[in-house]
Structure formats: structure tokens, C-alpha cells
Amino acid sequence: MALQFVKILSKTDTEKRLSLPTKYMKHLPRIRRGHAVNLTVMDEQGRQWHFGYTIRRNGHPKPVLSAGWHDFVKGKYLKPGDQIIFKQEANDAAALYTIGVKRRIRLLGKEVWTA
């Protein structure tokens, strides 16, 4: 069963780091020591991206993708208003994470999302 979230990117998401929904944390790797783990994610073309997954330790935990995220944003030419689809698919060996991108465009006077 695939678990996913969809997010429309904000300016902070495209310029600094991607904030993840807190409720999605239970589907990500546990952070045991320190405050970050490596998270490998595959895009629609089969390319692997390596992100630093961190959480804020003080107060309310806020999960974010930081290290490597900016490379993904630049590589995909993302801008505020674009959308990502982040999925976690379970298999017997380990979780597989994938990420997709959609852009909002105007086509024949209508707004549509395109990959």
C-alpha cells in the first residue's frame, strides 16, 4: 500500500527547505541519534536524490528535507506554486520513497496541472 502526500510549494520550500506534514513523520525513517538521517528518493525518471531529513528537537517536531533539496529544486526548475507528490511504498526489504512534480499551466484559457 502506497502512502503519499501532495504539497504546493511555497517560496521557503523552493529557496531553503521542504517542510513535510508532521503526520507523515511516522512513515519516514526514525531519527535515533543526532537530528538527521539520509533519505534516498527516486524521481519519475528513475534518478536517485539524496536528502537530509531532519526534525526540530525543541518544542513541536517539524520534519524537513534540507541537504540535497536545493539541488532537486534547481534540477527540476521548481518554483513557488509547483506541486510535489511524495510517496512511500512498502516492500519486504525496505521502504521505497518516490517524488513526482507537477506544474500549473494555462491551456486554452483553463488552468491545468502537468507533469
For residue 27, what are the CA distances in angstroms to 38, 39, 90? 14, 12, 10
What residue numbers bound the domain in which 18 lies?
3-114
If one compares 45 and 114, the residue with the highest pLDDT of the two is: 45
Most confident of 19-28, 78-87, 93-102: 78-87
Q: Looking at residue 81, which CATH number applies to its domain? A: 2.40.330.10
Angstrom distance (rounded) from CA 55 to CA 106: 37
**Phi and psi (nearest 5°) for 27?**
-100, 0
Burial 53-76 (b: 16+ CB within 10 A, else e): bbbeeeeeeebbbeebbbebbeeb
pLDDT at position 59? 64
Q: Given a cut of 80, is residue 31 above it in pLDDT?
A: no
Angstrom distance (rounded) from CA 5 to CA 20: 9
Q: Given a cut of 90, is residue 58 above it in pLDDT?
A: no
Per the CB < 8 A criterion, the answer to whether 43 and 49 are in contact is yes
Burial 83-101 (b: 16+ CB within 10 A, else e): bbebbbeeeeeeeebbbeb
Number of domains comprising the chain: 1
pLDDT band, very low/low/confident/very high, at 2 (cuts 50, 70, 90): low
Determine the average pLDDT of the residues in 18-44.
76
